[in-house]
Structure 1
Amino acid sequence: MEILKEIANAVISGDRKKVQELVEKALKEGITPEDIIDKGLLSGMSVIGERFKKNEIFVPEVLVSARAMQKGMEILKPLIAKSSNVIKGKIVIGTVKGDLHDIGKNLVAMMLEGAGYQIIDLGIDVPPEKFVQAIKENKPDVVGMSALLTTTMSQMKVTIDVIEKEGLRDKVKIIVGGAPVTEEFAKEIGADGYAEDAYSSVELVNRLLKVS
């Protein structure tokens, strides 16, 4: 549909006002919130993701598009909550203790929310105990940990160990990501998966939870 392409293009160009206008117009035309998200907002963000991977654009441009997408999500979220569409799963996410970076984590949270997951964002500098508390209180399907510094990567292992000690390890899937993190490191520390960017995180979670 033409309007969904227009929404995708508005996300790509980072035009928040246009995204808002087009999303409202699409709803009036009877297009479902799910279609607007999948074929409009996320379709635009996936183009941005590909460009980012190829180093054609950088984090500032990604953020501008992500904020435009978020503008559309703000309108659609209450409607999705009202519809019978079941939330795919619940995800606790946070940047590990000692690390104050949140751009990557925020992008991952936005993408996963857009893909139909409920997000509990613990923020930055999150100690292992806070992850444990969030697991006990929210009973999530997935815990996502982010680190942008090589010096804070070790906190991922510490956090997984504490989750294990509390007897909660078999209750959640644990995924990790961030600039210095690798697939090998994720395996070494006993994580269930690694995503190199916000776009792969959606595929990873869908695969781990066996949802489409």
Structure 2
Amino acid sequence: MNGELCAFIDANCDMLAEKILYLQYARQPGLAERYAARDIKLCLRDIKYHLSYLCEAVAVDSVSLFLDYISWAGSLLGNLKLPPEDLIINIECMKEVLIKESGRNSENLLVSYLDPALERLKYKKEVQFSFIKNDSPHFELASKYLSFLINADRVSANKLILEALERNVSIKDLYLHVFQVTQREIGKMWHENKISVACEHFCTAATQQIIAQLYPHIFSAPKNNENKNFNVVAACVANELHEIGLRMIADFLEIEGYNTYFLGANVPKDSIVKTLCERNAHLLAISATMTFHVKYAADIIKEIKKSPQCSNVKVIVGGYPFNVDAGLWKNIMADGYAADMAAVTSEASRLLH
């Protein structure tokens, strides 16, 4: 049923979006007059986004992913000073149109996703939090580092990290308590429309440049001999361009003594499987930070499990969608899941030892 519904939405997305919009016009007299022709096109685009995210969530059997998207969409409308009821009525119209057009066989499935979304929008409470915790081991260091990045002061950010190394702050602590938390905070700030895409990209690029200076320390650090015979391949799935999180995961496993082979962003499925065979890999770490990319992770896992040469390779997944839905990794038949760098070492040990 999930596959049939997704196929129907994909094939009829334009028609569905128009029906949803015009039904909303009928439910909200005066709404059409609020929008110019350009705005109507944007409304149709947004409805298609809603449909696409619903489709992706249904495909991997995850209500949590759709709820997370709807929460973000609601917050975005709030930041743009648009009435919250616009989105609520839009989702109500989406539910009515989808049930009518897709047939009653899909009704229960649609209700299981759209009713919780409506509840989330109607009774949502904003929760303020930061990834940089006051009680974290290097709160002041992480806070200063983030401030330098946001203010485009890459030189001071670099100096801050090098001075921390001179004070014997470990590479592990820098990765865990500075780089990881600041990258997540930067992503959250973009998500909340507090910084631009350009600012987010600058901050990430700056951190990548700073990390590059640390490799002599990583390669010369004492290694855990228990892991020296295990080969790990790390790759971002096809179309996934956010590589810094997985790069840090690979570095962290390298520090732990594993032999890592980092492939970077946007790696085709066939190339990943071929590399696993060539490197005699024991573990694959794959990253998908966007909901639209979870299906590519699932495809890779299917390909690995049916390949005689690498069917014994264990697969750990990670990235934002897997943090949103803690059971998602099981839905796509992965062997394990790591929420962060600290978790990946214990998960790798569990799977390989």
Distance in 2, matches of 1:21 and 1:88, equals 34
Instruction: Describe how 1:185-204 pairs up with structure 2 within 5 A.
Output: 185-204=328-347
SS of the equivalent of 1:98 reads coil
Distance in 1, matches of 2:309 and 2:252, equals 26
CA shift at 1:91, angstroms? 0.9
**Sequence identity (%):** 24
Q: Can you give the 5+ residue segments of structure 1 that lack an aligned partner in the other structure?
A: 1-7, 27-35
- Output one character per residue of 1:90-140: Cα deviation in whole Å (capped at 9) or x when no partner: 211111112222122222222222222222112222222111101110011
Counterpart residue type for residue 235 of structure 2: G
Q: Can you give the 5+ residue segments of structure 2 that lack an aligned partner in the other structure?
A: 1-137, 146-156, 188-199
Q: What's the counterpart of residue 295 of structure 2? A: 154
Greater RCO (Cα-Cα under 8 Å, separation 6 or more): 1
Q: What's the counterpart of residue 215 of structure 2? A: 73
Contact map agreement 1:99 1:147 (CA 8 A) in 2: yes
Q: Which has the higher helix share?
A: 2
Contact map agreement 1:66 1:110 (CA 8 A) in 2: no
Larger Rg: 2
1:47 maps to 2:177 = yes
Q: Which has the higher strand share?
A: 1
Q: What's the counterpart of residue 125 of structure 1? A: 266
Distance verdict in 2 for CA 1:199–1:67, change over 3 Å: farther
Distance in 1, matches of 2:160 and 2:182, equals 22
Q: What's the counterpart of residue 231 of structure 2? A: 90
Total equivalences in the alignment: 187
Distance in 2, matches of 1:205 and 1:47, equals 20
Q: What's the counterpart of residue 110 of structure 1? A: 251
Which range moves more in the overlay, 197-206 or 92-101? 197-206
TM-score by length of 1: 0.69
Distance verdict in 2 for CA 1:47–1:123, change over 3 Å: closer
Distance in 2, matches of 1:47 and 1:142, equals 25
Counterpart residue type for residue 321 of structure 2: P
Cα RMSD after superposing both structures: 3.6
Distance verdict in 2 for CA 1:196–1:170, change over 3 Å: same
1:208 maps to 2:351 = yes
Distance in 2, matches of 1:65 and 1:115, equals 21
Contact map agreement 1:19 1:72 (CA 8 A) in 2: no
Q: What's the counterpart of residue 286 of structure 2? A: 145
Distance verdict in 2 for CA 1:125–1:46, change over 3 Å: closer
Distance in 2, matches of 1:73 and 1:168, equals 32
- Output one character per residue of 1:145-196: Cα deviation in whole Å (capped at 9) or x when no partner: 1112211111111111111221245421101111112332211111110112
Contact map agreement 2:288 2:318 (CA 8 A) in 1: yes
Distance in 1, matches of 2:229 and 2:209, equals 23
